[in-house]
Amino acid sequence: MPKSYRIRTEVGKDKAIQVSLEQDFEYLEILSLKILQNDIYTRVCSDYGVVVGRISVNNGTGLPNCKVSIFIPLSQEDEDNAIISELYPYKTLNDVNDEGYRYNLLPYTKSHGGHRPTGTFPTRNDVLTNQTLIEVYDKYYKFTAKTNDSGDFMIFGVPLGTQTIHIDVDLSDIGEFSMTPQDLVRIGLATESQVSGTEFKTSSNLGELPQILQFNRIIEVFPLWGQPEVCTLGITRSDFDLTEEAGITLEPAAVFMGSIFSNQDKRAVKRRCRVNRKLGNLCQLIAGPGEILAIRQTIGLDS
């Protein structure tokens, strides 16, 4: 029988989770995520940790495709390198690049029909074809993840000590929960001037875009495993509730479309679809019931 551990946690409570972990375990589960034993090497105390968490809304509903990273400031060595410092100029989270973008994890390519890309994060093809970008990605974007369908994320191998965790959420690019401009206007998080009708606006100043949310938090990363009498062990968990942090609440909405027409039965349209010339006499119109049908997108796909 495989020797496994299932760690019970409470959503919304940030803390270091203490785990007594024997070296002969096969895997460890936390939230909807899993750590395999063969991902860990044996030392007295590990020199890295694991950061996990859930990004949620509406008191626990997990949001997919939210971007998460451990921020790594530009080193002094790379600051003197004109090529690297141009690609990654961020010594702090408030620094901006030549185009005016702050540090972000948002794509510059379109994700779906209703998405307006506004970011600088490199694509896989960019990294594979640009040798300098590979170096930047491996050094500064190494600890980057996105939430799964349950809203959970895991960053493995994080250096120990005090770290800054950064979150970027594009409300128009969170799977089946993606919001439209009028959704944000309706709940009071945007004005008509901040959106462009049925589309979101784009800008290098991400702070002026209502669909873009940013969160930063200082966390403490502990060794994942080791001798309890030698080092403090634990898994660092940090949850983000958008309802509490930014006042975001997901509510279903419907658009009612249709026509109002009716008449007496004797003037009904016949089988040959010929319309009676006297059809539409205002005084003879009859009120009747209507029906609103809900159409929604889900993560399930069919033919």
Q: Identify whether the C-beta of residue 181 lies closer than 8 Å to the C-beta of residue 196.
A: yes
Instruction: Quote the pLDDT of residue 40.
Output: 60
Q: What is the pLDDT along the chain (303 residues), one digit of tens a residue?
A: 567 767 777 777 777 777 776 666 777 787 878 777 766 655 578 889 999 999 999 988 999 999 999 999 999 999 999 999 999 999 999 999 999 999 999 999 999 888 899 999 999 899 889 988 999 999 999 999 999 999 999 999 999 999 999 999 999 999 889 999 988 998 888 899 999 888 999 999 999 999 999 999 999 999 998 888 778 889 999 999 999 998 888 887 766 666 555 566 666 667 777 777 766 667 766 677 767 666 665 556 665
Instruction: Quote the pLDDT of residue 14.
Output: 78
Q: CA-CA distance, 241 to 218, in Å (whole number)?
A: 16
Q: Where are the beta strands (DSSP E) in 59-151?
A: 61-62, 67-70, 144-146
pTM for this structure? 0.74
Instruction: Quote the pLDDT of residue 136.
Output: 94
Cα 42 → chain centroid: 34
- 3 state SS of 243: helix
Q: CA-CA distance, 145 to 167, in Å (whole number)?
A: 10
- Domain locations along the chain: 4-246
Tokens at 144, concatenated = 């980057």
Please give the span between the terminal C-alpha atoms of the chain, in angstroms, as a whole number: 40
Q: Which amino acid is at 213?
A: L
- 3 state SS of 165: strand
Instruction: Quote the pLDDT of residue 107.
Output: 95
The length of the chain is 303
Please name the residues in contact with 70: beta carbons below 8 A apart, sequence gap of 6 or more: 51, 143, 144, 155, 158, 163, 164, 165, 166
User: What is the number of other CB atoms lying within 10 angstroms of the CB of residue 102?
Assistant: 18
According to DSSP, residue 279 is labeled: T
Which of 64, 27, 35, 38 has its CA nearest to residue 51?
A: 35
Q: CA-CA distance, 126 to 121, in Å (whole number)?
A: 10
Instruction: Quote the pLDDT of residue 39.
Output: 66
Q: CA-CA distance, 272 to 60, in Å (whole number)?
A: 56
Residue 182 has phi, psi (to 5 degrees) of -70, -25
Q: CA-CA distance, 209 to 56, in Å (whole number)?
A: 20
Instruction: Quote the pLDDT of residue 299.
Output: 56
Which of 49, 87, 35 has its CA nearest to residue 163?
A: 49
